[in-house]
Amino acid sequence: MARQTETNSNVSRRRFLGGTVAGVAAGAWGGALAGTAQAQTAVQEIRTDVVICGSGIGGLTAAVRAQQAGASVIVLEKAYEPGGTTVHSEGVVWTSESYEQIRETA
């Protein structure tokens, strides 16, 4: 059985994650712009409840469900357009033949 311990911290999990995400998002955004000729050194603090990495079918579905549950959501995408691998798979869903094949491809 897990044992809970008391802490004197006033930081909730949501506040901690929100602050952490804001820092990571700001750093990632700054890093993404560093290689461009028009890069600006502006930092923007973003506070959110949920961060979704990837705008494929899974990421966007998770974002919609989180928003429907009342969370503030931000979706990060590495590509210039949303859609992720879903866009390139032409609607085909890949599944493996067996558990062993899943482990080999992971």
Q: Decide which of 10 and 68 is more confident.
A: 68
Q: Please give the average per-residue pLDDT across 25-43, as a whole number.
A: 58
- Alpha carbon 2 to chain centroid distance? 29
Asked, for residue 103, whether it belongs to a domain, the answer is: no
List the domain range (segments joined by +) for residue 69: 48-89
Contacts of 19 (CB under 8 A, 6+ apart): 47
Residue 7's pLDDT is 47
Handedness of CA 9, 12, 17, 18 (dihedral sign): negative
pTM of the predicted model as reported, rounded to 2 decimal places: 0.47
Q: Please give the average per-residue pLDDT across 15-43, as a whole number.
A: 58
- What's the number of domains the chain is made of? 2
Q: For residue 48, is pLDDT > 50? A: yes
pLDDT tier at 100 (50, 70, 90 boundaries)? confident
Asked, for residue 97, whether it belongs to a domain, the answer is: no
Asked, for residue 79, whether it belongs to a domain, the answer is: yes
